[in-house]
């Protein structure tokens, strides 16, 4: 496996993860409705903080995957050099 294919794979997975984070965050934002009492508001706030931390970790991992994929794409490609066979190993020439 070459570093280019690994880089492309990491970038694809990272972008998919970031898109999932934004989709989940928007769906949670669209679902919020104002409620009555203070107890319900505190409960909703605690649950929102837990979800925000989870989405933050997902976004962080996705961003790291994209960064590592870009680094893998930027690595210089080393050409494969075939050694010429002359019958004897290199130290005995």
Greater confidence, 30 or 78? 30
Smallest CA-to-CA distance from 44 within 36, 86, 11 is with: 36
Tell me the C-alpha distance between 68 and 80, whole Å: 24
CB proximity list for 71: less than 8 A, separation 6 or greater: 7
pLDDT in tens, 12-48: 999 999 999 999 888 888 887 777 787 887 888 888 8
Cβ proximity of 13 and 67 under 8 Å: no
Ordered by start, the domain boundaries in the chain are: 3-75
Please check the confidence at residue 65 and state whether its pLDDT lies above 60. Answer: yes
Predicted confidence at residue 73, as pLDDT, reads: 86
Position 13 scores a pLDDT of 93
CB 6, CB 66: distance < 8 Å: no
pTM across the whole model: 0.66
Q: Which residues contact 32 (CB under 8 A, 6 or more apart)?
A: 44, 48
């Amino acid at each position: 496996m070459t570093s280019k294919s690994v880089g492309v794979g990491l970038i694809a997975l990272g972008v998919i993860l970031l898109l999932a984070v934004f989709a989940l965050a928007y769906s949670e934002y669209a679902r919020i409705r104002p409620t009555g009492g203070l107890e319900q508001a505190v409960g909703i706030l605690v649950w929102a903080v837990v979800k925000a931390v989870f989405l933050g970790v997902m976004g962080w991992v996705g961003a790291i995957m994209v960064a590592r994929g870009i680094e893998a794409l930027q690595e210089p490609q080393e050409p494969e050099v075939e050694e010429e066979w002359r019958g004897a190993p290199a130290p005995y020439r």
